[in-house]
Amino acid sequence: MAASPAAAQFPPLAGRPRRRPLPALPPGAAACVQLAPSMLFLAFFFLLPAATLLAYSFLTQSAQGTVGLPLTLAHYRHFLGSALYLHVLWTTLRISLSTTAAAALLAYPVALVMVRASAAVARVITMIVIAPLIVSVVVRTYGWEVILGNGPTGVLNWLLLATGLVGHPLRLLYTDTAVVIGSLHVFFPLMVLPLASALGKIDPALDDAATTLGATAWQRFRRITVPLSLPGLAVGGTLVFSLTAGSFVTPAILGGSSAQMLGMLVDQQILTVYDWPFGATVASVLVAIVLAVNIASMRLLDRRRRLRGL
Amino acid sequence: MNSRLSGPLAWLLLPVTGAVLVFILAPLAVTIAISFNDAPFVVFPPRGLTFKWYGQVFHDTEFLDSLVFSTELALAATGGALLLGVPAAFAVVRGRLAGREAVAALLLSPLVFPVLITGVALLQLFSMLRSDDTALNLFVAHVLVTLPYVVRTVTASLVLADRTLEEAAQTLGAGRWRVFRRVTVPQIAPGLAAGALFAFMVSFDNFPISMWLADAQHNPVPLLIFQRIANFFEPSLAAISTLLIGFALAVVLVVERVAGLRRGLAM
């Protein structure tokens, strides 16, 4: 291969008369042309509507349903002053945090096995972990509804009764736990994948060195694996928290009215009550929570990178 | 299994991993089992084997209409996302631009923003514009949610593409278009294919955007399933779900073959 001259490999090209090169564009101009359509699209269909929604949360709705001035903070005061809405906010935070914690706890073993097992095993595990990500959330939640069914014909209750672990069927559906289980199932891959890629970057020599120096398996995990995989944990945790907090399908089907979350409140205010400003207020609160968590995690990662760079 | 997964650690890790894999597969397996259940209600354990629910699904015109509409919508959205996203990915990776990082962040930002809220915001925009063409509204919304996936996978594959090959082709006299078609595209083809497949699935599976914008004549499959979960509890829903699971698994296998799953997801 190396002996054959490059020109001989492309005889048709070499034989052709050279095309005159196109006049060079000023640097950056081509990029602007390539970016213009997507930027305009995002400005008009993403940034503008998001800003309008935020603006609505400060406006007043008349009795006729038109929204306009005066500017007011009344909707935020209404939200923060009502025990019912604060309860929904608290439920959202509690379920999102529990889901994130459970995902982190279960993701470590899976990600460690993915990184350390043979290539074939890792491949199978990766497929099983990722496959559900592509199955619609509605379908997966339906599966959980069947499993967690409250009567004796719910799969889990049937199993518990058949094995004699419980004497009468448990109330599983329409609880916080059901929503956490469903959300964990939906978002688990988004925790495992960043964690596995962070774990994959850890130099195995560190573990070997620690073993030589007499560290136990637990010490190695706590002093080497956990600190060095924190960036992956932060990325995955942020994703799981944000997506759980903003979810609708899972709490609507598995939680019902006993585990109402912010997303369901937005839906109810806008599609049932037709209170656009208050719906926009709840939406803005949800966005603020998600953005705060994302920004905090980004700053954490940035600071870490700078510290390690020094 | 190699030496890095042995000893007491393996005794702890492997059972937990096995349990998690069972947890991941359980709702899919149960749905598939129920779909062959010969009983008028969803009961466990299954009572007998039947294919009648599948027969019912193929005569269910409401479902078939939804299926056709979802497929058309997903194809159109994928096309739109590719048209907007591929040039944008080129600009982000290769353009000499100030603020490239900010542009990349903006392109991916619909992923971070709660999709449910993107949906409300679009409903508000469309009602302000008095745009009552449901199919068009859904198309725009679905391009918006699929765009980041295309940008992410195409960006990831462009970063890996070898520019010296393009320079070599140019030196040998190939025109700009020819270089693009014969050297650049083949290198990023796996990324393009993975991006397009994910965009299709993201649109096909989308619920939180469609729930605000759909109507009875334009009712995507996930919405239909959601409405039926609330209304009746019969195994034909499990049959529909099983068909969707099969479809998704086929896509996973294709992506794994074409690009490798983790690279395809760019994670």
Please give the pLDDT value at position A24: 54
Where is average pLDDT lowest: A166-175, A227-236, B228-237?
B228-237
**Interchain CB contact of B11 with A (< 8 Å):** no
| pLDDT of residue B110 exceeding 60 | yes
Please give the pLDDT value at position A290: 92
| pLDDT of residue B38 exceeding 80 | no
Pick A195 or B47 by higher pLDDT.
A195
Q: What is the CATH number of domain A70-309?
A: 1.10.3720.10
Q: Once rounded to an integer, what is the mean pLDDT over residues B5-27?
A: 82
Residue B259 is part of a domain; what is its CATH number? 1.10.3720.10
Q: Which residue has the tokens 């009567």?
A: A151
The answer to whether the CB atoms of B87 and A294 lie below 8 A apart is no
Residue B95: left if φ>0, alpha if ψ -120 to 50, beta else—which one?
Answer: beta
| pLDDT of residue A213 exceeding 80 | yes
Q: pLDDT by residue (tens digit) across A107-124?
A: 988 988 888 888 888 888
Coil, strand or helix at B68: helix
| pLDDT of residue A25 exceeding 60 | no
**Interchain CB contact of B16 with A (< 8 Å):** yes
Cα gap A284→A279, rounded to integer Å: 9
Q: pLDDT by residue (tens digit) across A254-286?
A: 888 878 899 899 998 888 878 888 889 999 999
Cα gap A304→A289, rounded to integer Å: 23
The answer to whether the CB atoms of A294 and B24 lie below 8 A apart is no
User: Please, which residues 188-207 of chain A have a Cβ atom closer than 8 Å to chain B?
Assistant: 188, 190, 193-194, 197, 204, 207
Please give the pLDDT value at position B74: 94
φ/ψ (deg, to 5) at B66: -60, -40
* Mutate which: B31, B86, B165, B232, vs A, most A CBs within 10 A: B31
Angle ∠(A26,A29,A34) on CA atoms, nearest 5: 150
The answer as to whether B12 is a domain residue is no
Q: Which domain holds residue B149?
A: 65-265
Residue B217: left if φ>0, alpha if ψ -120 to 50, beta else—which one?
Answer: alpha
Q: Once rounded to an integer, what is the mean pLDDT over residues B19-27?
A: 90
The answer as to whether B156 is a domain residue is yes
Number of domains in chain B: 1
Nearest CB among A146, A267, A294 relative to B30 is that of A146
Q: pLDDT by residue (tens digit) across B154-201?
A: 888 888 878 888 888 888 888 888 888 888 888 888 888 888 888 998
Q: For residue A152, which residues of chain B lie inside 8 Å, CB to CB?
A: none
Q: Which helix (H) or strand (E) holds B24?
A: helix B7-35
Q: For residue B212, which residues of chain A lie inside 8 Å, CB to CB?
A: 271
Å between B96 CA and nearest CA of chain A: 5
ipTM for the assembly: 0.85
| pLDDT of residue B259 exceeding 70 | no
The answer as to whether B231 is a domain residue is yes
| pLDDT of residue B58 exceeding 70 | yes
The overall average pLDDT reported for chain B is 84
The answer to whether the CB atoms of B44 and A253 lie below 8 A apart is no
- Sequence spans of domains, chain A: 70-309
Q: Which residue has the tokens 């995990």?
A: A221
Confidence of residue B5 (pLDDT cuts 50, 70, 90): low
Residue B77: left if φ>0, alpha if ψ -120 to 50, beta else—which one?
Answer: alpha
The answer as to whether B166 is a domain residue is yes
Q: pLDDT by residue (tens digit) across A90-109?
A: 999 999 999 999 999 999 88
**Interchain CB contact of A242 with B (< 8 Å):** yes
| pLDDT of residue A249 exceeding 80 | yes
Please give the pLDDT value at position A90: 93
**Interchain CB contact of A66 with B (< 8 Å):** no
